[in-house]
Amino acid sequence: MAPRPLLVLDGDSLAHRAYHGSRPLAGAGGRPINAMHGFAIMAIGLWRAEKPRAVLACWDTLTAPTYRHELWPSYQAGREFDPEILEQLDRMPELCEALGFAWAKGAGYEADDFLATAARLETEAGGRALVVTSDRDAYQLVSDSVAVLAPRTGGYAPDRIDGKEVVERYKVLPEQVPDFIALRGDPSDKIPGAKGIGAKGAADLLLRYGTLEGIVEAADELSLRQAEAVRDERLALFRRVATMDRRAPVKRPRDNTLDQARAAAYAREIGDERLAERIAGRG
């Protein structure tokens, strides 16, 4: 029998999905709780569906730069968040504790890095991991023992992304994803990529030459335009920015499970009676 998986949640991804996909919701003291409500509903639903040995929610620290910002100062430049979601993101660790789930957050690291490290630790221990995120950068984590669960709208079961599905979607192998992002670029993260080489061009080059280094070594075989583009010395930096850090400061979590009594009490404390009912299985 296969071991029960570690369920690793990209907390920020799910919280933003909940916040932007629902109407405003006020809780105790008039404080906003729609992101907290939606995140909890998704986390509990995934826990019930996947029956994991443990749940670990990973979070960004928005008040501190990461090595990515130091390498590429334009990284994620211009992102602004509503104060209503920022307040709720600050409260998410206490929500996770009330649910009975582990969480990871630390200055200088993104949620991505905790996802990657947790998946590595779980597989090294002989287990398997399910990484829940809408961020396709996480495709680089996919292996025989790691799959990505990509949430879908409408309450449908998430898409399950394995190695075959990564190739279907990106036309590259999971381990080639950081090279692919470096070449293609990523507008949401302000990574420009190689000039004139889009997704198809990046995938074609990686299919032929395997890695960014292999492409650069074979530049003389390319068109003049492509050769100039792949010789951009910034590409190695872009790949570093796109690569999730698998050595972030997080430990493999112990087995955990939903603490219904504590979670329901916390939901009532923050003024979310509907969530309390859902936790009890009555909503």
Q: Under DSSP, is residue 82 helix (H, G, I), strand (E, B) or coil?
A: coil
Q: Cα separation of 143 and 195, whole Å?
A: 30
212: left (phi over 0), alpha (psi -120 to 50) or beta: alpha
Confidence of residue 77 (pLDDT cuts 50, 70, 90): confident
Task: Please report, for the chain, the start and end positions of each structural domain, with discontinuous segments joined by +.
Answer: 6-163+244-279, 170-242
- Does the domain at 170-242 match CATH 1.10.150.20? Answer given as yes
Indicate the CATH number of 6-163+244-279 among 3.40.50.300, 3.40.50.1010, 2.40.37.10, 3.60.20.10: 3.40.50.1010
Q: How far is CA 251 from CA 64, 125, 133, 246, in A?
A: 21, 12, 20, 12
- Mean pLDDT lowest for which of 133-137, 218-222, 277-281? 277-281
Residue 64 reports pLDDT greater than 70: yes
Alpha helices in 51-109 (DSSP H): 67-71, 83-99
**pTM score over 0.75:** yes
Mean pLDDT in residue range 117-145: 97
Ranges assigned E (strand) in the chain: 6-10, 54-58, 102-104, 129-132, 146-150, 159-161
Q: Under DSSP, is residue 13 helix (H, G, I), strand (E, B) or coil?
A: helix
Residue 256 reports pLDDT greater than 90: yes
